[in-house]
Amino acid sequence: MNLTLMAAADLEWGIGAAGALPWHVPEDLKHFKARTMGKTVVMGRRTVDTLPSSLPGRRILTLTRHPRGSDETHLPGLLGHVAGTEDEVIVAGGGEVYSLLLPYCTRAEITRIKGVYPCDTHLVDLSKHGWTLIGSEPLSEISNIEQWTRA
């Protein structure tokens, strides 16, 4: 399966607070846009509900237990879709969806926000779940992009 997890996380793996991102890092939003352009992006229904608008140039697949239209899917539907394509599919949150889909992901790209923010939603510490950090490069003054792979 060509499934990549993409997330922005603080130094304690915090990813969200009160349904939003706790930081504003324009460079990361730009990076996310460029990295996902032309791809299928999977998001949990709660994260999709927070989007101000659709994301042009990307197909958003909403993971929900109650799929209605063609852009909403349950887990078996999503796994069938990913198994049926060699194209990279991006898992873009939020917390529940990261936990659910992490076992199926082969790569993770983490924008590391260099601070600790008050968060109510976290990603697991990948280093404690069989993943290895293989690279890190600066994105902005307060963030790096980390590449992770399964150990």
Ligand X SMILES: NC(=O)c1ccc[n+]([C@@H]2O[C@H](COP(=O)([O-])OP(=O)(O)OC[C@H]3O[C@@H](n4cnc5c(N)ncnc54)[C@H](OP(=O)(O)O)[C@@H]3O)[C@@H](O)[C@H]2O)c1
Residues lying near ligand X in the complex (CB under 6 A) are found at 7-8, 15-16, 19-21, 44-47, 50, 63-66, 74-75, 92-97, 100, 121
Q: Looking at residue 108, what DSSP letter applies? A: E
Smallest distance, Å, CB 150 to ligand X?
20
| 86 vs 90 by CB, closer to ligand X | 90
Smallest distance, Å, CB 37 to ligand X?
17
Task: Confirm if 138 and 144 have CB atoms less than 8 A apart.
Answer: yes
Smallest distance, Å, CB 90 to ligand X?
11
| 31 vs 94 by CB, closer to ligand X | 94
Token pair recorded at residue 85: 């394509």
Smallest distance, Å, CB 16 to ligand X?
2
Token pair recorded at residue 37: 């352009």
CA distances from 10 to 3, 29, 113 (A): 22, 15, 5
| 92 vs 105 by CB, closer to ligand X | 92
| 31 vs 46 by CB, closer to ligand X | 46
Token pair recorded at residue 35: 């990295």
Q: What is the largest CA-CA distance in the chain?
A: 42
- Distance between CA atoms of residues 107 and 6, nearest Å: 9
